[in-house]
Amino acid sequence: MTGASSPALVDRFGRVHTDLRLSLTDRCNLRCTYCMPAEGLTWLPRSEILTDDEVLRLVRIAVRRLGISKIRLTGGEPLLRRGLPELVTRIHQVDPRIGLSLTTNGIALARMASALHTAGLRRVNVSLDTLRRERYTAITRRDRLTDVVAGLRAAQAAGLNPVKINAVPVRGVNDDEIVDLTEFAIENGYRMRFIESMPLDAQQEWDRDSMISAEEILDRLGERFTLAPIERRGNAPAEEWRIVGTPSTVGVIASVTRAFCGSCDRVRLTADGQVRNCLFATEESDLRALLRGGAHDDAVEHAWRISVARKGPGHTINSATFRRPQRPMSAIGG
Ligand code: SAM
Ligand code: SF4
């Protein structure tokens, strides 16, 4: 997929970047407690959000000049982006071999899954932290559990494969549902993944004690299931296990306690056109200004390469010098 002559998007540690996390909006229709405050956030003005044509131009540069081969659409809530199926169609047309996936809260999936699959979307991750309606309403501050369950079903029926469920277990909130969520995934043919909570909430209330570590997640799973490790995950953030006696797998994304920065192949583009070389980066590179200033593709490519070249060795959550990024997760694109 890389243009024959284009060098890889590589940093000074030799990590090659092939995976683009593309945020399409910072807005959201939920207010998950580990992500943002009840009142929401000050959304970016519409004029600052990349237009579809600008997104397309950056995708072309990423795929044809920088060797990006996988694109995950995210946000905020990406299904809120107006005209999303048309945009997905156009991204798919840049190169149909792009592995195109989406991370969503699932609320609008029942309505959109089929159109998105037709447009070229292949895989979907749906965030679901609990199977209990009252608890779902408490965590997300919206009573939408039935919509998410319908969205999961619609995604599967539309042919999106695999359909993964992402859950962030938080102590005293939903950590007693690790087994129940996994059983739900097994019964319905979804793949379960648990994510360690990270200090990326807008209200800055994250604390290590409320995080459920990978070790604890695996202990809880081990009480009910026999897990067999799946050989190395390549660059994928999740460590995966086969659930013996079932066709299913379960994954754990241990960004805090088992950081995988050494094999990171991801680069991020925010909805307002800023390249971030890491989820935890404190600096960004303004590609939107270049686009709107009339820059040639060469200049945009160059700025993108410089940003990645400057990537640090890894996040420093576990050190005393850790500084949170200014943007919360929802404005970066998770
Ligand atoms: N709105 C979509 C969703 O919820 O799937 C996409 C954006 S959301 C920021 C992407 C993922 O980040 C979700 O799976 C969500 O659970 C996760 N997330 C949000 N805040 C987090 C935090 N503080 N720590 C760990 N994961 C978080
Ligand atoms: Fe919205 Fe996703 Fe954040 Fe929940 S985790 S508030 S769904 S952006």
Q: What's the CA angle centered on 231, arms 228 and 233, to 5 degrees?
A: 115
Question: How far apart are the CA of 36 and the centre of ligand 1, in A?
Answer: 10
Q: Is 80 exceeded by the pLDDT of residue 234?
A: no
- Give pLDDT, residue 18: 96
Q: Is the dihedral of CA 328, 190, 267, 117 positive or negative?
A: negative
- Residues in Cβ contact with 187 at an 8 Å cutoff, skipping those fewer than 6 apart: none
Q: Which domain holds residue 132?
A: 19-332
**Is pLDDT larger for residue 66 or for residue 281?**
66
Q: Which residues pair with 170 in a beta bridge?
A: 211
- Residues with Cβ within 6 A of ligand 1? 28, 34-35, 74-75, 77, 103-105, 127, 166, 168, 195, 197-198, 200-201, 329-330, 334
Which residue among 24, 26, 28, 103 is best mutated to probe the pocket of ligand 1, counting the most ligand atoms within 8 A of its Cβ? 103
How many domains would you assign to the chain? 1
Residues 245-254 pLDDT 10s: 999 999 999 9
> Residue 7: inside a domain, yes or no?
no
Q: Is the pLDDT of residue 87 over 50?
A: yes
**pLDDT confidence of residue 137:** 98
Per-residue pLDDT band at 315 (split at 50, 70, 90): confident
- As to burial, measured by CB atoms within 10 angstroms (0-12 exposed, 13-18 middle, 19+ buried), residue 1 is middle
Note the pTM of the prediction, 2 decimals.
0.95
Residue 1 lies in a domain: no
3 within domain boundaries? no
Domain presence at residue 124: yes
Asked whether residue 64 is assigned to any structural domain, the reply reads yes
Atom of ligand 1 at shortest distance to CA of 199?
23
The 10s digit of each residue's pLDDT in 121-146 is: 999 999 999 999 999 999 999 999 99
Report CA(136)–ligand 2 centroid distance (Å).
13
CATH number of 155's domain: 3.20.20.70
Report yes or no on 4 lying in a domain: no
Residue 232 has pLDDT above 90, yes or no: no
Q: Find out whether 132 and 148 touch, Cβ atoms under 8 Å.
A: no
Give the burial string for 152-176 (b: 16+ CB within 10 Å, else e).
bbbbbebebeebbbbbbbbeebbbe
Element (H, E) at 195: strand 191-195
Residues annotated in a binding site for S-adenosyl-L-methionine: 34, 76, 127, 198
